[in-house]
């Protein structure tokens, strides 16, 4: 890789009337799959000293509330493609133990739809429920919407009431299967087959409850050979009953090449732009007024646990699976990925960090506690402070060549919250050696002052947090590094850092 001669300066140009779009809070969503220790020992562990009377881990709920996770996708993932939702409701003694083929384990169904909905209430989050379109059909899709959203007086709504839940759940957001383009997926289909099935499922589900929104499966990654054609054909067959198209992506630093790894957000940015183009192409040929928006409902770093997972014993209950231990450089990329999602706020309305607890997750648990992984911090800070209107920024910054194309040394985004007279800048300095000087003309924001400049940085790119050393990587206050003078904000972005600069009147 050729490093360009750079002046280590980044200039962010904004105009308060030029906006990209309002942040839909659902882009700070996450994901809980029946996989590894996400559910069992993650959010649910009856008998544990941190469990409440229903078996939910209180220490985990506290950390999730700290993030303010607005939606949680459930129950999968690959898991959902052979899942019978009926197994997961009603008296626990009647629930079957099943062979779980997606991850080679045994599923006890001790935790299911009713437990998840009860947990959502405690966490103060909304469900994003995925149906099985792999091994099951549209009849089952209809039944589960009836169970969840019809008040009473029908077979499935009365089943819910008999199971002790009087009021309907009113689940508003439904995923029409998971990664159906992937040959690994149980019930994998061609784009035509899936598009027709998703269209029919969405139709029948919306007959049961016209107020719901549906997410059709896009490609499970930009690298899929069917990418592009898959999106086009699926939408051509399901346009009228689909509201969002999904995108999934995971990145890894297998080659231990940090500059290229940190440039992965360039690939994510292209992925989003390309999917937007395909949605709009189908809109045009359909002469439709309806716009399909995006649900980036799986994104993260995932590679640390790949090798150890190959050695797992089969058909056991909730093993340690996909337990990536995240390091400091992973947190930088997660920060850049959040910035990328925000910069597409006009079309990305939903996104789910995959996943939430223990399985490729910001939160880890053991029998004796719960702690924050490195990636917890950019995710939490974006969710807490990244609410408002995303401004359309012109960012003048040097770039470096990467395998994903030219990558800016600094990724950044500005969010204006006019109601609360606040401005927030998120910025990642990907330069591993040099600090960058940031400047931004804020004269349209007369009287705004720096409230906080929080920085996540570390001398060791591979530094991690653990139960014994939970605070090894955590943000520090560097408010003194930022100031507004005569309406111009200047800041120092340390080499290799995630920055949150908050201003208010
Ligand atoms: O999040 C882990 C897995 O990654 C999900 O089950 C699947 O949808 C994706 O391939």
Condensed to tens digits (0 to 9), the pLDDT of residues 232-273 reads 999 999 999 999 999 999 999 999 999 999 999 999 999 999
The answer to whether residue 4 scores a pLDDT higher than 50 is: no
Residue 352 has pLDDT above 90, yes or no: yes
Question: Which residue's alpha carbon is at the smallest distance from atom 6 of ligand 1?
Answer: 77
* pLDDT above 60 for 5: no
**In this model, does residue 420 exceed pLDDT 60?**
yes
Report the percentage of the chain scoring pLDDT > 90. 99
90 dihedral zone (left: phi>0; alpha: psi -120 to 50; beta): left
pLDDT tens digits, 147-178? 999 999 999 999 999 999 999 999 999 999 99
Nearest in space to 183 (alpha carbons), one of 221, 237, 214:
221
> For residue 249, how far is its CA from the centre of ligand 1 (angstroms)?
9
Testing ligand 1's pocket by substitution, the residue of 35, 178, 224, 298 carrying the most ligand atoms inside 8 A of its CB is 298
- Annotated active-site residue 179? The verdict is yes
Site to probe by mutation for ligand 1, drawn from 33, 183, 184, 246 as the one with most ligand atoms within 8 Å of Cβ, is 33
Is residue 298 flagged as an active site residue? Answer: yes
Please state, in angstroms and as integers, the Cα–Cα distance from residue 303 to each residue in 248, 273, 299, 379, 430, following that order: 15, 25, 13, 19, 20
Mean pLDDT for 104-117 is: 98
Return the pLDDT at 60.
98
The pLDDT > 70 percentage for the chain reads 99
Active-site position among 115, 298, 323, 329: 298
- The residue whose CA has the least distance to atom 7 of ligand 1 is 77
- The ligand 1 site (C-beta within 6 Å) comprises 33, 76-78, 178-179, 220, 298, 354-355
- Token pair 């040959």 is at which residue? 183
Q: How much is the mean pLDDT over the chain?
A: 97
Query: Over the stretch 385-405, which tens digit does the pLDDT of each residue have?
Result: 999 999 999 999 999 999 999
d(CA 356, CA 304): 16
Alpha carbon of 72 to ligand 1 centroid (Å): 14
Distance CA 430, CA 436 (A): 10
pLDDT at 174: 98
Average pLDDT over residues 92-113: 97
Catalytic residue among 33, 179, 231, 329: 179
Index of the ligand 1 atom closest to the CA of residue 76? 6
What confidence tens digit (pLDDT) does each residue in 291-349 have? 999 999 999 999 999 999 999 999 999 999 999 999 999 999 999 999 999 999 999 99
């Amino acid at each position: 890789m050729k490093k360009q001669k750079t002046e280590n300066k980044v200039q962010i140009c904004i105009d308060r009337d030029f906006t990209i779009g309002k942040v839909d809070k659902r882009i700070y969503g996450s994901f809980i799959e029946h996989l590894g220790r996400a559910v069992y020992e993650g959010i649910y562990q009856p008998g544990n000293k941190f469990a409440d009377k229903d078996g939910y881990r209180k220490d985990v709920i506290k950390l999730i509330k700290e993030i303010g996770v607005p939606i949680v996708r459930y129950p999968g993932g690959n898991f959902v493609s052979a899942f019978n939702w009926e197994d997961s409701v009603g008296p626990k003694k009647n629930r079957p133990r099943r062979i779980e083929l997606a991850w080679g384990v045994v599923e006890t169904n001790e935790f299911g739809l009713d437990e998840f909905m009860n947990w959502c209430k405690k966490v103060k989050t909304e469900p994003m429920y995925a149906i099985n379109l792999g091994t099951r059909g549209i009849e089952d899709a209809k039944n589960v919407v009836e169970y969840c959203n019809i008040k009473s007086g029908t077979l499935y709504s009365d089943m819910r009431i008999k199971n002790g839940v009087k009021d309907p759940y009113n689940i508003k957001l439904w995923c029409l299967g998971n990664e159906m383009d992937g040959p690994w997926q149980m019930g994998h289909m061609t784009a035509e087959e899936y598009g027709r099935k998703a269209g029919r499922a969405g139709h029948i589900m919306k007959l049961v409850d016209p107020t719901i929104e549906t997410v059709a499966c896009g490609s499970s990654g930009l690298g899929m050979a069917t990418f592009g054609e898959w999106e086009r054909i699926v939408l051509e067959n399901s346009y009228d009953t689909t509201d969002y198209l999904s995108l999934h992506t995971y990145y890894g630093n297998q080659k231990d090449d940090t500059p290229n790894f940190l440039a992965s957000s360039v690939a994510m940015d292209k992925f989003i732009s390309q999917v937007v183009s395909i949605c709009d192409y189908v809109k045009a040929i359909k002469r439709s007024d309806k716009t399909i928006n995006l649900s980036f409902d799986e994104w993260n770093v995932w590679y640390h646990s790949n090798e150890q997972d190959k050695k797992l014993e089969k058909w056991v209950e909730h093993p340690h699976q996909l337990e990536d231990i995240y390091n400091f450089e992973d947190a930088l990329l997660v920060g850049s990925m959040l910035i990328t999602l925000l910069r597409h706020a006009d079309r990305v309305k939903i996104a789910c960090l995959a996943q939430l607890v223990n399985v490729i997750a910001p939160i880890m648990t053991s029998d004796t506690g719960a702690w924050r992984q490195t990636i917890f911090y950019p995710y939490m800070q974006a969710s807490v402070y990244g609410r408002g209107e995303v401004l359309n920024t012109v960012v003048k910054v040097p770039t470096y060549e990467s395998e994903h194309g030219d990558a800016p040394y600094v990724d950044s985004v500005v969010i204006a919250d006019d109601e609360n007279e606040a401005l927030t800048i998120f910025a990642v300095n990907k330069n591993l050696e040099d600090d960058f000087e940031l400047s931004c003309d804020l004269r349209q924001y007369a009287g705004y002052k720096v409230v906080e400049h929080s920085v996540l940085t570390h001398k060791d790119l591979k530094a991690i947090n653990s139960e014994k050393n939970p605070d090894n990587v955590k943000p520090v206050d560097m408010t003194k590094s930022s100031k507004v003078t005569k309406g111009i904000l200047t800041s120092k972005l340390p080499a290799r850092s995630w920055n949150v600069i908050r201003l208010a009147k």
